[in-house]
Amino acid sequence: MFEIYSNILNLETVQTVLRILYFTSFFWVPLFFFYLVWDIWLTYKRSQFLAKQSYILLEIKIPRDVFKSPKAMEFFMESLYQTFGEANWYMKYWQGSVRAHFSLEIVSIGGAVHFFIYTRKGYKNLIESRLYSQYPGIEIYEVPDYTLPLQYDPEKVGLWACEFELTKEDAFPIKTYIDYGLDKDPKEEYKIDPITPLLEFMGSLSQGHQAWVQIIVRAHKAEDKDPATGKMVDLKWKKEAEGQIKKIQEAGKGEKDKETGKPVPGTQRFLTDGETETIKALERSVSKVGFDTGMRVVYTAPKDIFSMDNVGGIVGGITHFNSSMNGFKPTNIPAPKRKWFPWKDRPKTAVNLEKSILLDAYKARGYFWNEYKRKYFVLNTEELATIFHIPGNVAQVPTLSRIASKKSEAPSNLPL
């Protein structure tokens, strides 16, 4: 074996290459080490930046009577499209600055259902003003983080958690409130609100059980490099939609002659109703503002009352938004990056380790950066408003946290 390597090294071509590498090492050796430490540098600077941010949890108290459609929530969602923080090279790579993310959360604690928004403190006024403008009767409070009391001990606590991904490409939309006719503001008795099954199940949980649904979003940007032009393009969403539309249209043009490239006579056809509707849905989907999105669910209860039967109700409430075009499905999480557990705190099994990682990620509201980085998908404002909105009176969930009475100003003619 030694003789084989020795003969290879003695080849004139190999020696020439080695000499070139030696005399150019002043250039490529620093470049090589720079490439190795680049990811470490970005992780460090982003960790520094995120640690400096102040985050708060806002609870939305819902009035007893709500007659707004999810269209009002879609208007609010547009205000979360915040790209500030990555305006230039200095901010992104030297300061570690990243654009803001928001966590939209629907939570059941012992059957009491709550709506939360987790955000940087600087966005509190924006969120409150936009929500009040669409839902004048609501109340918004800054509250303690409900996730902090939960510590996962496999001997005492039952825990199930998962993340979700789309069943098809991001450009294909899920079934939205417009598909249910809620954009036309029908009377309450005629409304079919797709969020109701999820709320009904979460409201049916008994004391000791908790179910958390987390939808993490940030503004979607073109972050892919076009191999042809080298420019930044949106290959994940808008370009994907254009490609799918073109694919459907080409199918109607018929087969092409391999030699001439022209359509073969007699193979052309009209597009089916389904294909036409798909094109319309794709065009409508990418015409709206898009968000990078991650979704995860946690169900927990003391070990003695924990029941896997409740998992089906939670997952079913999420997959209820599925359509023939697209939908959600549970997915396994990737192996943790730079994740370390002290030996005394290390879970005993791989299953428990996975649960600990998911719970940690949920508490940190992490999805896009560093050790919490996951494969995200893209949803537009219409889709987000469908899966997270203030329900109307059609959602008769007794344990849904609503304001007991409507506040009003005191009469102006009261005696002093």
pLDDT at 339 over 70: no
In the chain, count H helices and then E strands. 12, 11
The mean per-residue pLDDT over the stretch 142-148 comes to 97
Q: How many residues appear in the chain?
A: 416
What per-residue confidence (pLDDT) applies to 294? Answer: 97
The residue ranking higher by pLDDT, 404 or 391, is 391
| Rounded distance between C-alpha atoms, residue 106 and residue 73, angstroms | 15
* pTM, entire model: 0.84
Q: SS in 3 state form for 14-52?
A: HHHHHHHHHHCHHHHHHHHHHHHHHHHHHHHHHHHHHHH
How does strand 210-219 pair with strand 112-120?
unpaired
What per-residue confidence (pLDDT) applies to 260? Answer: 72
Residue with tokens 């940007």: 221
pLDDT at 121 over 60: yes
Least confident of 177-181, 323-327, 405-409: 405-409
Q: Which tokens in the block code for residue 106?
A: 């629907």
What per-residue confidence (pLDDT) applies to 8? Answer: 46
- pLDDT per position as a tens digit, 271-313: 888 899 999 999 999 999 999 999 999 999 999 999 999 999 9
pLDDT at 82 over 60: yes
Fold of 55-220+289-387: Vanillyl-alcohol Oxidase; Chain A, domain 3 (3.40.462)
- pLDDT per position as a tens digit, 244-266: 999 888 887 777 767 776 777 76
The mean per-residue pLDDT over the stretch 19-23 comes to 69
Contact between 66 and 390 (Cβ < 8 Å): yes
Query: In the structure, what pLDDT confidence band is assigned to residue 11 with cuts at 50, 70 and 90?
Result: low
Looking at the DSSP bridge assignments, the partners of residue 263 are 256
Which sequence spans correspond to the domains of the chain?
A: 1-52, 55-220+289-387, 232-271
